[in-house]
Chain A
Amino acid sequence: MLKPGRHLVLGNIALAEGALRAGCRFFAGYPITPANEIAHYMSQELPKVGGYYVQMEDELASMAAVIGASWAGAKAMTATSGPGFSLMQENISYAYMTETPCVVVDVQRSGPSTGQATMPSQQDVYQARYGAHGDYEAVALTPWSVQEMFDLTVRAFNLAERLRMPIILLADGMIGHMSEKLVVPEEVEVEERRRPSGRECTPFDTDDPSLVPEMPLFGEGYELLVTGSAHRPSGRRDYTPKYLQRKIWRIREKVLRAEPELRDVVEYELGDAEVAVISYGASARPSYGAVREARSKGLKAGMLRLRTLWPFPEEVVSKLAEAVKSIIVVEMNMGKVVREVERVVCGRCEVSLVSKVGGVLPTVGEVYDAIRRAVR
């Protein structure tokens, strides 16, 4: 592991380093560009801290192993890219249903399909939100720098434990394969999962206002049944409608209730802004460069950067719609977050899109031109 202090490291390594410091002690994965360095680093470092690394036969099994490890008490993670993320979706749904804390990293590459396997994109925005079958509320975090690869991975592990669910770290190949400054802190804040306090335990329901039940582990003497089928609070399989109705309500509601603490946006120069850029991940870098350029030329531009993409920060965007004339969404896909923005803005201001596909990032110049057009 890296010593506390200033380092020049690859985004993927910073992410793995954050995972180790958050207490990750199990990694299962299957190789895929541009996520490989995460598995590579974990395979070197996990044994040194008493953890386990397993290369599985595919992504389906990787996700299954992560879920099993979590129920055995380990903080567990897998890392992949678009095609592998697709293969994991069935078991990610199982993790929502069984309320299994874990972290799933998608270092997005340029698709569809094999696409440009070594080049970045932000095309999995909906896959992170809606990729798994069934009804659930997803949580996805989007780092824009090597530092945030570290910071948001620590946060992802903490949220996984707090909410007892999979958290998606939605990175991209640009930041994953980029080296820049990482400052490793002396210590990071680490949350541990809520364990049963007494001999009795109801693993799949609770009266607690958080709606997050205590989580027993295998081998501790509790009668523990974990199933993807509809179940009673005890875990026993039961198809009576009321049990699944309550379950679906609760796994969504626990996220919605936590939304104010999940909400994580950074505002830049929005005070008097007439034009606001909304962006996230790698796209936010040139976007911010463009906002700075616009300000230096006297244009009233600002930016809202989303570090939590899901749940979508509706309240923040709604307020923004009242304050500015125009919103420009910048993303490396054909327009995904822009739809969320349009839904929330609901015609109260102009909404436009700067979209870039083909494995390349929007440039400062392209975003600046869009700002200039919007000001006019």
Chain B
Amino acid sequence: MRRDIIICGAGGQGVVLAGELLSQALFDEGYEVVNTRSYGAEARGGRCRSEVIVSDEEIYDIQLTEADILIVMSLPAYRRYIERLRPGGLILLDEEVYKALSPGELREDVEVISIPASEIASRLGNPIVANMVLLGALIRKTGLISLERLKEAVSRRVRPSMREINLKALEEGYEALEG
């Protein structure tokens, strides 16, 4: 088993953090994990991408040119990375991005799941946790790890004042999809 996952969006949306937390949870589960990040020179608003490779075996192809799963948090990121998704792959995207797409921009050969991540995050009190909503949905859809495993990794890492809202966001994302 090997899954190549790209999380992409704009700087400041928690793309790198989402990749780190997902990687940590997969690592805690016992998988081999390689996590890389790439960003522009800007502190906020620039292009941002996190790659997570998870496998049962040692990982040698460490830089992704294609992915099985794409998690998209911004429209420019969608346009930049959509062609990297392998046919038959999965795209999880924020509904705000989905609504902004023109029909021609959707790929027919991949599964597209739109989650109101920004909306849920705003309702919970902070749009910054949209990344966690998408992670919750990802693990429900893929079954790679349990929700508890992911919550443990998030609890250990985020600061106490942000813990509750992040965990709630994970749960809401998890519940936004059918298992």
Contact = CB atoms under 8 A, between A and B. Distances in A.
Nearest to A292: B60
B27 A8 contact: yes
B38 A361 contact: no
Contacts of B63: 174, 286, 360-361, 363
The number of chain A residues touching the other chain, given as a range, is 20 to 34
A364 B60 contact: yes
A252 interface: no
Contacts of A119: 38
Interface string A243-287: 000000000000000000000000000000000000000100110
A57 interface: no
Nearest to B19: A179
A4 interface: no
B68 interface: no
A178 B33 CA distance: 10
B61 A118 contact: no
Contacts of A286: 60-63
A178 B65 contact: no
B23 interface: yes
B155 interface: no
A180 B41 contact: no
A47 interface: no
Instruction: Bin chain B's interface residue count.
Output: 20 to 34
B60 A289 contact: yes
For B32, B33, B37, B60, the residue with the greatest tally of chain A CB atoms inside 10 Å of its CB is: B60
A317 to B, nearest CB: 22
Interface of chain A, main secondary structure: mixed
A178 B34 CA distance: 7
A168 B81 CA distance: 37
B103 to A, nearest CB: 32
A286 B34 CA distance: 13
A361 B62 contact: yes
Given A8-B23, A8-B27, A177 B36 contact: yes
A121 to B, nearest CB: 12
Interface in A302-335: none
A53 interface: no
B37 A177 contact: yes
A354 interface: no
A282 B60 contact: no
Interface string A119-142: 100000000000000000000000
A272 B39 CA distance: 43
Given A8-B23, A8-B27, A180 B59 contact: yes
A177 B35 CA distance: 9
A174 B62 contact: yes
Contacts of A174: 36, 62-63
A175 to B, nearest CB: 8
A101 B21 CA distance: 39
Contacts of B33: 8, 179-181
Contacts of B20: 179
B88 interface: no
Contact of B60 (A8, A117, A177, A288): A288
Nearest to A289: B60
B27 A285 contact: no
Contact of A118 (B23, B41, B65): B41
B24 interface: yes
Contact of B61 (A179, A289, A360): A289
Nearest to A287: B60
Nearest to B37: A177
19 contacts: A8-B23, A8-B35, A117-B41, A118-B40, A118-B41, A119-B38, A177-B38, A179-B23, A179-B34, A181-B27, A181-B33, A282-B62, A285-B60, A285-B62, A286-B60, A286-B61, A363-B65, A364-B60, A364-B61
Q: Nearest 9 CB-CB pairs, A to B?
A: A289-B60, A8-B27, A179-B35, A361-B63, A364-B61, A178-B36, A285-B60, A285-B62, A180-B34
Interface of B: 20, 23-24, 27, 32-41, 59-63, 65
Given A180-B34, A360-B63, A363-B63, 16 more contacts: A8-B23, A8-B35, A118-B38, A118-B39, A118-B41, A119-B38, A177-B38, A179-B23, A179-B36, A180-B33, A285-B59, A285-B60, A289-B60, A289-B61, A363-B61, A364-B61
